[in-house]
Amino acid sequence: MAEPTTAGPALLRRSPLAHLEERLRAATITGPRGVSLSEWPYITMVSVRVDPASEAAARIEKALGTALPRACGATATAGPHTVLWLGPDEWLVVSQAEHPLLTAELAEALGGDPGSVVDVSANRTTLELSGPMAREVLEKGCSLDLHPRAFEPGQAVSTQVGPVPVILWQTDEAPSYRLFPRSSFADYLARWLLDAIDEYAQPEVT
């Protein structure tokens, strides 16, 4: 009989794209037509629903160290936390902090007031698409206007890439984007992006 494992849940978990790790690494293209795709698994994500004008919202803002964004596409960052606006009373907190601790802290800030604080870390994974051709790759299947005049670093919106609903966050001018698909759609989206990237691995026709 096999010895029972003593590994905790954190050691036994497997990211939605672990089976594609080598393909993601091999797809990296350097140079002026460069683009890369990688997974950032196990990032803490907490869904927050609260009336932005309430005292509970003020307490949550104090716990996060930043105001909750009030406009579509807006984000706010403080320390390890970035808050993404999803709706008039809905936000996604993306953080480097441990998710049980952050969820407990925000739930305590909400108290018994109307609203919700839910750990959704296992609900989505994170894909990072970066490099000079990153925007062109996304434009193959995203109807959102990604030109810098319309979509700037620091903005995040709910949209669709190919047939997959995602939260899309542009993190800097490089450009670099983080995509948050549902874990169940992550494999499809990663393969779609790998196929879209393949064009830039081919010699440029002159």
Residue type, 51: D
Q: Is residue 2 part of a domain?
A: no
CATH number for position 170: 3.30.1360.120
Residue 177: strand pairing partners: 129, 170
| Domain encompassing residue 56 | 44-119
**pLDDT at site 65:** 97
Regarding beta strands 127-130 and 116-119, do their DSSP bridges make them parallel or antiparallel, or are they unpaired?
unpaired
Domain boundary among 119, 149, 169: 119
Q: Is residue 4 part of a domain?
A: no
**pLDDT at site 9:** 54
> Exposed, middle or buried: residue 74 (CB in 10 Å: 0-12, 13-18, 19+)?
middle
Q: Are 180 and 189 in contact (CB under 8 A)?
A: no
User: 37 and 129 share a domain?
Assistant: yes
pLDDT by residue for the chain (206 residues), tens only, comes to 444 444 445 556 789 999 999 999 999 998 888 999 999 999 999 999 999 999 999 999 999 999 999 999 999 999 999 999 999 999 999 999 888 999 999 999 999 999 999 999 999 999 999 999 999 999 999 999 999 999 999 999 999 999 999 999 999 888 999 999 999 999 999 999 999 999 887 665 55
